[in-house]
Chain A
């Protein structure tokens, strides 16, 4: 296997009341999502990778080279800030050209590269504007183009979509996917939003209070979360405590019932507590043997609350969770 584009070897950073300890490898061409709630240390990890913070222990490698003591300007990584951090005194064009000027690219090459990126991100008509004249989505695109311009081998993204509204977010998410693929940079994507992480990353790493909880392909992590906390954090609703599990006939311990375990039209009666219309799908809160369960999928017509459905649960598909 090729050497990792970025790797953390037992990198540690302590603040009063918080400590981060992290190892991972990011390989060329892949997008790794650091997924965690606020305060989990994911932004700190990004700063350590960029050289904006120095670790208390451990090593940081870029392309196999130990860069632990290097200042940010020597590392040549691209960083997209959560607040974009666009230079307010420079035009969109000059913002994107900033890193190229630092690398002393010849003027013609700078122009070609900046124009290429502006075109790719749909910013060509805004080239002469100042950041203050742009909308949120446009600013986000400038920040991305600016970070990508010097063709970094590693791109770091700090919650790049968090300041945008839902529709714009989804739109830009697909655009980001396309651009990341086209630029062939390894990307480290920090977010607290599991949907964003799943959509963009080929691998996710879940962080909790400065520690790695689980790492793997999005489908695998989602299907087999390690513990109760991770299952809840990833948005699973059917996380059963020991008592509920016993009622359903599972062994001692905590369990996750995935949606694939549900079969309607046969088995025991389940009462509909609440039915929510979500557009392409519906969400149902059910009472099954006195246990509250949630199911989501295409179903029509919407069953009225209080009505009963026949439900068989395939307990063979239930996922055991370790206690966190």
Chain B
């Protein structure tokens, strides 16, 4: 069964990723590569992307490490805190960018314009990655920390020595994994630097888009994609080895009790920090309610009222497109992710690398690959859906694989001795047991498709405009009305994604 699943998955991957990618690489390795290599402007893009990734990883780890240490203690609302701190990770880039504009943009709530500064970009990276980094580190701590620390203490190490000699080494793979993942997401990020970075702080990904969209320079873009892939593959291989040392499941050890006053202080600190972290989202809500006539629902009413906007895609069609494409993408991503999960479940490192490939290939470069490889399919929205599915299946698989690994081997062996062949076991034992993971994987896949931005900008046509595109176009147009509508539309997209997660979570609970 594993072989069949692997074969089906490889079929999907060849069409959706390997072939388009090879077209990009072939073109990129041509004379354009050397031309790009000598270009100082492009080289600066590479350096800045590296710097941005490194700065962001550092900032995320510096914040996440003490957070994870504090999470070992009980404080009021701790479970909710942990759940909420993971929310930013699944938010669409365009929503996050709009939120930061609302907070610190030219018309921002705080009255300070930080757009075009690296500070804002790093903050956005922290916003995205802080929650999951803290969770990875805390998972490691909960697994081994307490007892090992106790052992070190009884052997004569004081608290600081025990931290340095035992806890920190135990955290190393987590630090590498969380830092590596943050680097991967930030180095190749698109939406945030495109909207918040300006020319000076454009990443390679933004530059690749610019080359194609404004100069139709496929050769130059392919060369930059090649650079990007080299960096991304090196880092993601490092991440792979670090995450293998995380040894699968993370623990959820008992919480350490605290005296009442200390627990209160800790809780206050954590909740204040979370509010600060989520400030852009509050600003987004506020900005969406701001109209020239004062606070009100004017922006929303205007969006719902007009069927078609003269300047930018209207809410109705954009919402319909987003829902339709995301749903179709899920139909493709779920089986692809499941086949991959079944193949990689107890597979080798090689199969695991295959699943990481979409992490190494950025959305914009995937779009470039499709334009190169399948020019005749450009007239259909199929490429858009395929891109969404390709970017989404690893998320689906990543939710499913730990669940599969959590099934005791004996249970499956029991089913086999009772006469169930592999495919029957899959439907009667494995899938029912991992039902909750299937739902959360589906939510992740749907959410990622609904918020996709980079590949969309390259592959979209006016009549397929999604919510992301509609928001982006409004942000690029002058006038308070457009700004207000963009904010309101971002809230709609935010609510849509949140609603999907809520529904899938409910679905996982039922039955």
Contacts and interface: CB of A to CB of B under 8 A. Distances in A.
A201 B26 CA distance: 75
Given A83-B147, A85-B148, A102-B161, A51 B155 contact: no
A150 B154 CA distance: 11
B421 interface: no
B351 interface: no
Contact of A99 (B155, B166, B170): B155
B170 A88 contact: yes
A129 to B, nearest CB: 17
Interface stretch (A22-30, A68-76, A269-277, A300-308): A68-76
Size band of the A side of the interface? 20 to 34
B411 interface: no
B147 A146 contact: no
B419 to A, nearest CB: 32
B144 A88 contact: yes
B13 interface: no
A78 interface: yes
A181 interface: no
Instruction: Give the residue among A81, A102, A150 with the most B Cβ atoms within 10 A.
Output: A102
Contacts, number: 68
Interface in B154-202: 154-159, 161-162, 165-166, 169-170, 172
B151 interface: yes
A261 interface: no
B152 A98 contact: yes
A89 B150 contact: no
B153 interface: yes
Instruction: Give the residue among B147, B150, B156 with the most A Cβ atoms within 10 A.
Output: B156
A81 B147 contact: yes
Contacts of B165: 98
Interface of A: prevailing SS: loop
Interface in B379-402: none
B155 A98 contact: yes
Contacts of A81: 147, 150-151
Instruction: Give the residue among B153, B165, B166 with the most A Cβ atoms within 10 A.
Output: B153
B157 A50 contact: no
Size band of the B side of the interface? 20 to 34
Contacts of A73: 153-158, 161-162
B147 A102 contact: no
A80 B327 CA distance: 56
Interface in B215-240: none
Contacts of A147: 154-155
Given A83-B147, A85-B147, A72 B166 contact: no
B145 to A, nearest CB: 11
Given A79-B151, A81-B147, A87 B156 contact: no
Contacts of A86: 151
Interface in A52-83: 52, 71-73, 75-79, 81, 83
A103 interface: yes
A162 to B, nearest CB: 15
Nearest to B157: A102
B44 to A, nearest CB: 40
A194 to B, nearest CB: 26
Contacts of B153: 51-52, 71-73
Contacts of B144: 88
Interface string B333-346: 00000000000000
Nearest to B158: A73
Contact of A150 (B156, B161, B170): B156
A87 B169 CA distance: 9
Contacts of A50: 150, 154
A108 to B, nearest CB: 19
Contact of A89 (B154, B157, B170): B170
B158 A103 contact: no
Contacts of A156: 154
B155 A146 contact: yes
Contacts of A90: 169
25 contacts: A50-B154, A51-B153, A71-B153, A73-B158, A79-B151, A81-B150, A86-B151, A87-B148, A87-B151, A87-B152, A89-B170, A98-B152, A98-B155, A98-B157, A99-B156, A102-B152, A102-B155, A102-B156, A103-B156, A146-B151, A146-B155, A147-B154, A147-B155, A150-B155, A156-B154
Interface of A: 50-52, 71-73, 75-79, 81, 83, 85-90, 98-99, 102-103, 146-147, 150, 156
Given A51-B153, A73-B155, 8 more contacts: A50-B150, A52-B154, A72-B150, A73-B158, A78-B155, A85-B150, A88-B170, A102-B161
Top 3 nearest A-B pairs (CB, nearest first) are A99-B155, A102-B156, A72-B153
